[in-house]
Amino acid sequence: MIDDLYPGANELEGRAIRDIVALAMDAPAAAKSGHSGTAMALAPLGVTLFSRLLRHDPTAPEWPDRDRFILSCGHASILQYGLAHVFGYDLSAQDLRAFRQPHSRTPGHPENGVAPTVEVTTGPLGQGIANGVGMALAERILRHDHGEDLVSHRTWVLAGDGCLEEGISHEAASLAGAWGLDRLTVFYDDNHITIDGRTELALRDDAAMRFRAYGWHVIELGEAANQLDVLEAAAREAMSETDRPTLVILRSHIGFPAADMMDRREAHGSPFSAASISAAKTILGVSDEPFSLDPALPSEMLSHLEPRRRTRMAWYEHEANAGDEGRRLREQLESGGATTLSVLPTPFEGGSHVATRKALQRAMDTFFPQSRTMTAGSADLTDNTGVVLPGATPQDRETPGGRQIYYGIREFAMGAILVGQALHGGLRPIGSTFFVFSDYMRPAIRLASLSHASALFVFTHDSVGVGEDGPTHQPVEQLMSLRAMPRLHVVRPSDANETLDLVGRYLAKAHPPATALVLSRQDVAVLEGADAIASAQGAQHGGYVVREHADARFTLVGTGSELSQCLRASDELAERGVATRVVALPCWECFEEQSATYRASVLRRDLPSVSLEAGATLGWSRYVDHAIGLDSFGLSAPGPYLFEHFGLNADSLIHHVTETLSL
C-alpha cells in the first residue's frame, strides 16, 4: 500500500515517510498549535534528500563539510524534527512529544543550536532562501581558498509560496543568479495554499520565468511530490549544474493523504481533528496511537547511511593529513572566522577631525591583508561606507574567491546573506549601508541576534549630520530601535581611534555577537591626552568615564560625535567654576554585560546627569536624569546648521546644567 502512496520508496524510506507524516499530525494536535499540512506533503522530499542525496552523518552533525539543509518555510518545523529523529540524529521521541512546549528542543519554528540539522533560524518567510545564498557563497569562497578535498558541499533549501512572495526572495535570487552559485538548490513547494486561502487571491506570478530571468536553472516537476525517484533525478540534475543555481518547482498537495484536509487552507495552520488523523493513519497503514514511532528506524537509518559515515571519516583523515591547510581551515571554523592581528592601524592624530566612517576604511586597509576570513561589501555604497578591501577581487562566477562583495541595492538580502555566511562558519562577513536604511534590513538583523550570528552590520551617516539630503535620509529613531533588540551590540564609537580599536577587537574575537557599527558622515574631534587613554582602556566595556572630577556636580553623557560636545561643555563649565564628569556610552548592550559595581562607578547616579545624542531620547532614562536629543524628523539643510538648529550642542548642555543647579 505504501508504494501506491509514495512510488519509488524502498521499505525503509516508506516507513520513514509514514512515521513523519503521522508525527506531523500528532505533534501539532498534542500541542494544540502548529502546521501539519506542509510537513505531511513534503515528507517524501525530505526523506529523499536525507536518504539518497545529502552529504551528512547523524553521528557527527557538526562535520564541517556536510551539506547544509535549510527549511525556509519554518512553520513546517515538525518535518525537520521528524527527519532528524528517523535518520538517527540526537533528537528523541520524547523531544518530539514536547513539540512547542516550554524549553523543548522542538520549538515552533527551527532555531539553530537547539535541534540537530537546523543550520539557521527560520520562520519569517523568505529569509531562509537568502540564508541559503549566504551559505552557498561561504562554501564557494572556502572551496576556492582550501581546495575541493577540504571543502565540497552543497546547500539545499525548501521554500514555499510565502517565501517566494516575500520581497527578500527576489533580492536574494537575483544575487544568486548574478553570482552563479551552482551548489545551491531551492525546492519550491507550489501547493497553491496560504492562510487566507488559494494563492491565486494574491499571487499569479510565473515562478519559472521569474527565476530563469534571474539566471537560474529551473526544473518544473509538476505532480511529483510523492515520487521519490523523480525527486532524486531532479536533485541530481541540479547537482550537474556547474555555473548557476537551480530552482525545482514541485506541485504538492497540502495535507496529503488526509482526504478531508487536503488542498484546504485549514491544513496550513490548524491542528487536525482526531477523526481526520485517524482516517489519514488508516490510509498510511500506521497505528492510530499518537506518537507511535517506529523504534527501530533510527538505528536502521544509521546503518543505511554507513557510506556517508565513511565519507565523513575519510574527510577527517584528509584534513588531519593536509598540513597547514587543514590546520588553517580548522582554526577558521572553530574560531568563527577570528583573525590574529599582528599589525594595528596607525592612530589618527589627537585633536584632528575625522569622520568615523573614514576610520573604518583605515581599519579595512590594515586588517584585510592580515585576514583569511573577512568578506565585506555594501548595498551600492562601498566607497561611502568605508568597506573597500585593498587588493580584493569582486565576488563573481569568474572570481569565486572574491572577498569584495557588491550586493547592489538589496539591503534586506544583504543582511540575511551575512547571516548565512556567519552561520556557515569560517568567514567573518561585513555589510554596510546608510544608517537610515537599516529599516530595510531590520528583520535580518533581528534573526542575526536571535541566532548568535557573528555578522557585522556597518551603518554610516548616523544622524542629522547627513545634511541636505533631508529627513528621508536622516536617522532619528533607528538608534533606539536597534538598541531595543536583545543581544545586538549597537556600537557608536566616540572618535576615529575608538573605531579602529573596536573594529580590531571585533575581528580578533572568537564568535562575537551580531554587531551594528554606527558611524558618522561628518568629521568628529579625535580624542587626545587623558581622554584618549580613557577611550583606549574603557570603550571595550561599552561605557567608561572619560573625565572624572572629585568635586563634580554633574555628569555629562554622550555617544558618537556628541561626546566631543560633552567635552566642550565640560571645559566651558569648568571656566565658570562648575566641575563635571564626562561619560561615554558607545555600546549599551556591552555596558549592561559589565558588573553592577562597574556600571555604578561609571554612571554615579548620586549626581544629576544629562545626555546628548543626535537621535530619539526614548530609553535614556535608564542612565540619566534628563536627555537632550531629537524627537522629531530632521530638515534639509547643511549638517552644522542642523546641529545648532536642534540644539544638539554644548550650549544646550551648559544651559541645562546651569538651570538645574540654579546658577
- For the annotated catalytic residues, the residue numbers are 411
CA distance 128 to 447: 11
Check if the beta carbon of residue 187 is closer than 8 Å to that of residue 250.
Answer: yes
C-alpha cell at 523: 568629521
Nearest one of 587, 623, 556 to 483, comparing CA atoms: 587
Whether residue 257 has a cis bond before it, omega within 30° of 0: yes
Beta strands in 77-222 (DSSP E): 155-160, 184-189, 193-194, 197-198, 217-222
CA distance 233 to 231: 5
Strands 544-547 and 580-584: antiparallel
CA distance 575 to 348: 28
621: left (phi over 0), alpha (psi -120 to 50) or beta: alpha
**Cell numbers 586597509 label which residue?**
365
Rg (CA), the chain: 27
C-alpha cell at 225: 511530490
Tell me the CA end-to-end span of the chain in Å, nearest whole number.
91
Indicate the SS3 state at residue 480.
helix
Phi, psi torsion values for 557, nearest 5 degrees: -120, 130
Check if the beta carbon of residue 435 is closer than 8 Å to that of residue 461.
Answer: yes
C-alpha cell at 474: 536622516
C-alpha cell at 377: 561589501
Long-range interactions of 272-278: CB distance < 8 A, separation 24+: 272/25, 272/28, 272/29, 272/36, 274/29, 276/25, 277/25, 277/26, 277/29
Nearest one of 215, 207, 213, 204 to 248, comparing CA atoms: 207
Q: What angle do CA 384, 385, 386 make, to 5 degrees?
A: 100
Q: What share of the chain is helix, strand, coil (3-state, %, to 5)?
A: 45, 15, 40
What number of other Cβ atoms are within 10 A of residue 426's Cβ?
26
CA distance 402 to 395: 4
**Cell numbers 527501530 label which residue?**
296
